Amino acid sequence: MIDDGDDVAVAAITVAELWVGVQLAKGRRREKRERFVVAVLDAVSIESYDLNVAEAHADLLAHVRRAGTPRGAHDLIIAATARAQERQVVSSDQSGFAALPGVSLVSDLS
């Protein structure tokens, strides 16, 4: 899966998803999630939504609309970010990322 020497990054939209998880949690669970998010953000690079990502996003969005295979908005942004930055998507959610042109998916997380 992911080794210590791998160049790991997350899409900017993933940061939003992580912070939503913090904001929706309560009590000790919220504190634990916040510490986790801060630790992740300290450890990995953040890939921004730039012009290259926007172009890849448009291409992927057109593809799934033509194919009649809608995907979640955030999943498409994550996939577009990976495609534009020549990275792999690492996710157990095959349905969100499988069969997208130019997107490499690693889903075996064992």
What domains can you pick out in the chain, each with its CATH number? 9-47 (no CATH), 51-106 (3.40.50.1010)
Q: State yes or no: pLDDT of 69 exceeds 70.
A: yes
Q: What pLDDT score was predicted for residue 1? A: 59
Interior/surface letters 8-38, b for 16+ CB within 10 angstroms, e for the rest: eebbebbbeebeeebeeeeeeeeeebbeebe
**What is the C-alpha separation between 91 and 84, in angstroms, rounded?**
17
Per-residue pLDDT at 51 = 98
**For the whole model, what pTM was predicted?**
0.90
Q: Are 28 and 62 in contact (CB under 8 A)?
A: no
Asked whether 9 and 87 are in contact (CB, 8 A), the reply is: yes
Residue 101's pLDDT is 97
State whether the Cα torsion 70-93-48-38 is positive or negative: positive
Stretch 82-99: mean pLDDT: 94
